[in-house]
Amino acid sequence: MNPVRSSPTGLINQSMNISKKSNTDSATVSTAVAVSNGMNRLAQKYKKEVVPALKKEFDFKNVMRVPKITKVIVHVGTGKMSKDGKTTDKIVGDLSKITGQKPSTRVAKKSISGFKLREGMPVGLMVTLRGRRMYDFIDRLISIALPRSRDFQGLSPKTMDQGGNMNIGIKEHIIFPEVSYESLRDVFGLQVTIVTTAKNREEGVRLLRLMGFPIRN
């Protein structure tokens, strides 16, 4: 994983200098307007710029062979927090705002006594994004959320596995602009998996770089 962090103190101080609720609402609206055409922009960029570039670089004879992003999986491990209904509800609410989709609950498939884990116990929340919501999330992730991360210097190419999928670990969900001021005190981490049809790491890294992902050299 490539964990990225934001600065909770900085965000809280910034929020306290202005009207809390009204600023949050206006920021969310502004963000929504800014990325409302995210799918169109990224989809067009993929067709007009990325596909031709990948065909030329990798000498693909068939356009169907050109790799593409198929889905984005956002996962939050709840662990001990699963026993706290109020905390879980907050996570569900914030994750729904961030992804635009209500998460599903993941349960343990088997019992592990050493971890006090019972089969069927809730262990996490997951959202699978495709189509418009996928492009919208990606657009906000690479253009707004990641740049707000503290000391962010780009994603490591090592976060791309040999199957062409990228795993991004985010320690603090408050880098997303949809999160309200009240949520700054209940920070949680999440994992974002970008699933592609790339056959290897080289194809996957090149695809995401051309799509606008800030991947280091």
The pLDDT of residue 88 is 82
**Is residue 195 domain-resident?**
yes
Number of structural domains (the chain) is 1
**Is residue 3 domain-resident?**
no
Residue of 77, 73, 57, 179 whose CA lies nearest to 133? 73
The pLDDT of residue 91 is 87
Structure tokens that stand for 118 in this block: 């019972």
**Is residue 190 domain-resident?**
yes
**Can you give the pTM of this predicted structure?**
0.75
**Is residue 69 domain-resident?**
yes
Kindly report the CATH number assigned to the domain that includes residue 141.
3.30.1440.10
**Is residue 216 domain-resident?**
no
Helix 131-140 with 38-45: angle, nearest 10 deg: 90
pLDDT in tens, 158-210: 999 999 999 999 988 989 988 876 666 778 889 999 999 999 999 999 999 99
Q: Is the predicted pLDDT of residue 89 greater than 70, yes or no? A: yes
pLDDT in tens, 117-171: 555 555 689 999 999 899 999 999 999 999 988 888 899 999 999 999 999 999 8
pLDDT in tens, 27-84: 444 444 444 455 578 888 999 999 999 999 999 999 999 999 999 999 998 766 555 6
How far apart are alpha carbons 93 and 77 in whole angstroms? 15
- Residue 49: which domain range? 8-211
**Is residue 2 domain-resident?**
no
The pLDDT of residue 121 is 57
| Contact present, 92 and 100 (Cβ < 8 Å) | no
**Is residue 217 domain-resident?**
no
How far apart are alpha carbons 11 and 174 in whole angstroms? 9
**Is residue 86 domain-resident?**
yes
C-alpha distances in Å from residue 77, one per residue of 25, 103, 177, 190: 28, 12, 21, 7
